[in-house]
Amino acid sequence: MDLDAVRTFVAAADAGRFQDAAGDLAITQQAVSKRIAALEKTLDARLFTRTARGARLTGEGEAFLPHARELLLAEARALASVRTGPLRVDVIGRRLGTAVLLRDFHVAHPQVALEVVTLFDAAAAITAVRDGEIDASFRAVAARDLPDGVASAWVHDEPLHLLTGPAHALADSPVVTPVHLKGHRLWMPGIVPGTEWAAYYAEFATAFGLSIDTAGPNFGTEVLFDVIAESAEIATLIGTGARLLWPAGHDLRQVPIANPAPVYPHCLVWRRDNPHPALAALRAHLRPGSRTPGAWRPSWAQPSQTVPSTG
């Protein structure tokens, strides 16, 4: 089985659009379509249904997805058993805040060979760190949830903003508080139960009596932005470090949230006995952090802990 095709399938399933998957993989949309078609031929099954709003997994696609992820993890384990190559670092998404942190490291240390990977959730990332398949991961995790030999430390607070269309009641607000969000529909179809980001938003909603709607298929950010741009009732939450684009005609508004400001607490996760020489450079680069005074964090976050230079 062509693992590049499997990797492309997983990227398209996560993004919800072939165009987004192409951007994430740095290939053309035509190449994505060809790889998916070749994989469907190999499996003798249709994996996606193409729609005007994106690509939706078929029943066969849903059934194959967890096995596809296992195939990619098996590939990573095989490579890890013999490699002494670049520093392999996992980020939750290539267009999200942690990718920006890693890109800043690359700019500061261009001599370091770097490989960026995107594993599905914290559980997969922590397992990959423990097994030596990757060298580090940016995740929001509690130290108590880590296996022996694996360490984590807080490195960055990423504030959240409210993202609305121009007709939304809060669109012209200079700032809102979490209490202001009560009664408004926050739509976040990308939240997957059991993930660390699901735990974060669940505790945030509970803390302020909010309702976060996760219903509906996730067709990717472009479709989400289309819906928000046209709606006077639906809004979403977005990290300020995300590098996401939408058509200028959408006139979307990012409204800061304050009193308190919710922040997503990014941690670096690594294996204590990992000898990769560039890992120490990454940890040293991240030591300063950027703590937000008076911010809201979930109960399991550890904002006072920063990345130690050794150990």
Give this prediction's pTM. Answer: 0.71
**In terms of domains, do 166 and 73 share one?**
no
Q: How many domains does the chain have?
A: 2
**Domain presence at residue 149:** no
> What pLDDT, on the 0 to 100 scale, is given for residue 82?
62
Domain range for 64 is: 1-82
Six-digit token string for 147: 């296996």
d(CA 185, CA 183): 7
pLDDT the model gives residue 270 = 95
> CA-CA-CA-CA torsion for 51, 54, 59, 60, nearest 10 degrees?
110
pLDDT higher than threshold 60 for residue 310: no
Q: What is the DSSP letter of 283?
A: H
pLDDT in tens, 146-172: 888 899 988 889 999 999 999 999 999
Q: Where are the beta strands (DSSP E) in the chain?
A: 48-51, 54-57, 87-90, 114-117, 136-139, 150-164, 185-187, 212-213, 234-239, 253-256, 263-271
In a domain, 201, yes or no: yes
pLDDT tier at 141, thresholds 50, 70, 90:
confident
Spacing of C-alpha 5 from chain mean position: 21
Residue 150, domain member (yes or no)? no
Question: Worst-scoring range by mean pLDDT, 21-35, 77-91, 117-131, 235-249?
Answer: 77-91
Sign of the alpha-carbon dihedral angle for 243, 245, 248, 254:
negative
> Residue 197's domain is classified under what CATH number?
3.40.190.10
Is the residue at 224 inside a domain? yes
pLDDT at 293: 79
Is it true that the peptide bond before 260 is cis, omega within 30 degrees of 0?
A: yes
In a domain, residue 102? The reply is no
| Final residue before a domain boundary, out of 28, 52, 82 | 82
Residue 290 has pLDDT above 90, yes or no: no
Strand partners, 257: 176
Residue 113 one-letter amino acid:
A
Assign residue 25 the CATH number of its domain.
1.10.10.10
Last residue of a domain, one of 244, 263, 282: 263
Last residue of some domain: 52, 82, 112? 82
Per-position b or e across 153-178, b if 16+ CB within 10 A of its CB: bbbbbbbbbbbbbeebeebeeeebeb
Query: Is 285 within a domain?
Result: no
Statement to judge: residues 73 and 164 lie in one domain: no
Pick the more confident residue, 311 or 101: 101
Q: What is the pLDDT of residues 60-112, one digit of tens each?
A: 999 999 999 889 878 877 766 665 679 999 998 888 889 999 999 999 999 99
Residue 7 lies in a domain: yes
Compute the mean pLDDT over every residue in the chain, rounded to the nearest whole number. Answer: 88
Q: What pLDDT shows up at residue 289? A: 58
In sequence order, what are the residues at sequence separation of 6 or more whose Cβ sits closer than 8 angstroms to the Cβ of residue 311? Answer: 151, 272
Q: Closest Cα partner for 236 from 169, 173, 165?
A: 165
Is residue 223 in a domain? yes
Backbone angles phi, psi at 253, to 5 degrees: -120, 130
